[in-house]
Structure 1
Amino acid sequence: MNDDDNYALFKDLYDAYNSTDPSYFDNETQLLCVPQAVNKFGARLIPVFYYTISLLSYLGNGLVLFIIYKFENLRTVTNIFLLNLVLSNLLFASSLPFLATYHLFEWIFGVALCKIVSSAYFIGFYSSILFLTLMTLDRYLAVVHAVAATKTRKKAHAITASVAVWCISIVASVKELVFKNVGKSPFNGLTCEESGYSKSTMERWRLVTYYQQFLLFFLLPLTVVMYCYISITIRILSTRMKEKCHTIKLIFVIIFTFFACWTPYNIVIFLRALLVTSKEEVLCSDWESLDYALYVTRNIAYLYCCISPVFYTFVGKKFQSHFRRLMAKNIPCLKRHMNTSSQSTRSTSAYEY
């Protein structure tokens, strides 16, 4: 076999190769970059992290769901948004055990589940971001425009907005249904990756995903969250609230946590988009550095996505009161140590300050 034949065989093997992150092969100059070290890093880190996030999500979101059902009015605007946020996070968490198993071994669940799990993953991820944004906007209306909000904060409006969020998330995730297929890799066995279309088509849609994630599911929500909470803070400072300092601290924690968890991941996404569109030669080491960064920052963002309902509700005094009542009812020995006052057991929001 001559050198040309050896090169052709070598090229065919790597053309067939699918990394755990399908966006790794982003241009011709990176065709022979093999992320073996990155894949090994991901195989050690991701399964444990995904199983942990999934468990925390089921426990935390399940607790929030139970307390809303037990103590709150499910038909109020804020609780409609909170309920949808919980459901979106449970949908997202339901995909993680499949992906953890995939990183440990290979894709053993078939073509249908490949498409369904990938879609559920992104639908839950995208919708949770948008529902967090809606909850922030609802809180802004209730505090800053309390009088006008009595006309705009209606159950029908909340249901319409929730349906719109689910529709946007499904449309943004339809690429997964179209492009994801089960294939055979000489290195990784059965894979659930994007395939079946030309490289240029896949690259264009990958760019759409990157910029969609950065602009629609990060920059826009971040702008809304910052504006709303700054306005709420200004409003609270102008009042005579007895616990305004406590409330402002909670607002600061919410803004800081949102920014700290989401910004690094989206910066990495943006840098990957720049590399894809770069006309200069991109070194394999550049892709490897971004892949390591993606693994770490993505897991931080996903963790926040899963625990956000617990985070948003536990800062509220009414939710804390509901939780203490629940604990006291099921653990009698704790009753004397807890304030189980029945005041304000029904409210318009389970996550008021």
Structure 2
Amino acid sequence: MLNQSDYDYGDYNDSDLDYTLVGPCPQQNNHSVELVVGPYVHSIICILGLVGNGLVIATYAFYKRTKSMTDVYLLNVAVADLLFVASLPLIVYNELWAWPMGPVACKLLRGSYSVNLYSGTLLLACISADRYVAIVQARRSFRLRSLKYSRLICVAVWSAALLLSVPTFYFYNWYEPSHSRAAFMNEDEAISTAAPPHYVCEFQFTDNATAWRTKVALPGTQLAAGFFLPLLVMVLCYSAIAATLLRARTFQRHKAVRVVLAVVAVFVACHLPYNATLLYETAAMFQQRPCEESDVLQTAKTVTQTLAYLHCCLNPVLYAFVGVKFRNHFRRIVLDLCCLGKRYIAPRRCSRVTSEISMSGRRSVDKSSENGSSFTM
């Protein structure tokens, strides 16, 4: 049995213990990319997305009524994309600097961001299913493609997006990370730095088990419902559409096939790189990696996520302005805006030009409205 005299305390000193505080990886490359992508590239995406989707909404609000199932879907896609790009600057600001707006805005903004992300991709799947019914199942399309059904489907899509975003609303919090509170020890006492608190809007968990489950479940849900399900529906529907159009053997139909291929190709090109990166990150989430590898992964995630954001700017071009009717309505919007600025200079001439364009646009719209669709097919 040992007693106190059996221990050697002669050379013991507090300074012999190595108190090394290890913080998170600095990720310098990713931070350098974010400083370029965040303020500049995302600003371009926001401007293009606001203009393009705003024109689609303005067209439906002032020039065109929602007469078909496709119109309802296009309007809802434009609303989802518009809300998405409107929240993007604040999300980028939080990722680069501190979150200044408090806990309520943190939850609402992050949650609405998730809702718009899910609803946008799910509505694109609905558009492809609607095109399938209109072209492949043309005999039954008048019975299945009603405004009542389209509105009910849109309500279901927004409800599903809200339900899928509940964990985001719940787990995102406004707090000060522990690694931002630097503390230094001197001979007399611990002195904390007097720097102002650095608050962030990020995931916060009460225990490790919840953190493990949530950090795997949320990316998995985003991959399944936000990418693979819409991609599967689009590939199946547009494959059947392309086969049907190719059998028609007309120039207009072959042009429509190219539009179909462009829609699928742009969706895959924009979303596949980010979702592949997200899948890899989720699969290796709880494995310890060197800081250099972690930096490369986060850099790839930043770049591919920006590419995915770009899709909301291309939706108005692919789904709306590619059609004859939308192009005519777009011309009317541009002319009306020009006339609004010149109405005090030459009001008679402006009124006459607008009337002529309006009549010609109405004739072409009426002629192209025989198929009841705003999508060029």
Q: What TM bracket, shorter-length normalisation?
A: 0.7 to 0.9
Rg bigger for which structure? 2
1:303 partner amino acid: L
What TM-score results when the alignment is normalised by the length of structure 1? 0.85
Aligned CA distance change for structure 1 residues 102 and 250 (closer, same or farther; 3 Å):
same
1:1-353 aligned at under 5 Å gives the runs: 2=15, 4=17, 6-7=19-20, 10-11=21-22, 14=23, 32-185=24-177, 186=180, 189-276=198-285, 281-331=288-338, 340-345=360-365, 347=369, 348-353=372-377
Distance in 1 between residues matched to 2:113 and 2:145, nearest whole Å: 30
Task: Specify the SS of the correspondent of 1:238.
Answer: helix
Q: What CA distance in whole angstroms lies between the structure 2 residues aligned with 1:159 and 1:119?
A: 23
Identical-pair percentage: 28
Distance 1:43 1:334 in 2: 47
Q: Residues 204 and 222 of structure 1: is their aligned pair in 2 closer, same or farther, counting only changes over 3 Å?
A: same
Structure 2 unaligned spans of 5+: 1-13, 182-196, 339-349
What one-letter code is carried by the residue in structure 2 that aligns with 1:351?
Answer: F
Aligned AA for 1:321? N
| Contact persistence 2:115–2:162 (CA under 8 A) | yes
Distance 2:360 2:67 in 1: 25
- How far apart are residue 4 of structure 1 and its match? 4.3
The one-character-per-residue Cα deviations of 1:65-104 (angstroms, maximum 9, x if unpaired) are 1112333222521111111111111221221121233244
Q: Could you tell me whether the CA contact under 8 Å between 2:63 and 2:329 is conserved in 1?
A: yes
* Matched position secondary structure for 1:181: strand
Whole-Å separation in 1 of the counterparts to 2:75 and 2:358 = 27
* Residues 4, 166 of structure 1: alpha-carbon distance in 2 compared, 3 angstrom cutoff: farther
Which region of structure 1 is more displaced relative to structure 2, 315-324 or 220-229?
Answer: 315-324
The alignment partner of 2:250 has SS state of: coil
TM-score by length of 2: 0.80
Letter in 2 for 1:216: A
- 2:81–2:120 contact (8 Å) kept in structure 1: yes
AA at the equivalent of 1:168: A
Aligned-partner residue type, residue 76 of structure 2 = N
Alpha-carbon distance, 1:257 to partner = 0.9
Maintained 8 Å contact 1:325/1:340: no
The 10-residue stretch of structure 1 (83-92 or 341-350) with the greater mean CA deviation from structure 2:
341-350
The one-letter code of the counterpart of 1:201 is T
- Where does the alignment leave 5 or more consecutive residues of structure 1 unmatched? 15-31
Question: What are the Cα deviations for residues 103-150 of structure 1, in whole angstroms up to 9, with x where unaligned?
Answer: 443110111001111011111111100111111111111011011121
Distance, in Å, in 2 between the alignment partners of 1:151 and 1:52 is: 42
Q: 1:274 to 1:59 in 2, by over 3 A?
A: same
Root mean square deviation, CA, Å: 2.5
Q: Counterparts of 1:152 and 1:3 in 2: how far apart (Å)?
A: 78
Flag the 1:310–1:6 CA change in 2: closer, same or farther, 3 A: same
SS in 1 for 2:373: coil
For 1:129, what is the secondary structure of its paired residue? helix
Q: Tell me, in whole angstroms, the C-alpha distance in 2 between the residues paired with 1:71 and 1:101.
A: 36
1:329 Cα offset (Å): 4.5
Letter aligned with residue 304 of structure 2: T
1:293-325: CA deviations, max 9, x gaps?
A: 110111111110244133311221221122223
CA distance in 2, matches of 1:72, 1:144: 26
Q: Distance in 2 between matches of 1:3 and 1:92?
A: 54
Structure 1 residues 124 and 224, CA gap change in structure 2 (3 angstroms): same
Distance 2:109 2:19 in 1: 38
Letter matched to residue 2 of structure 1:
S
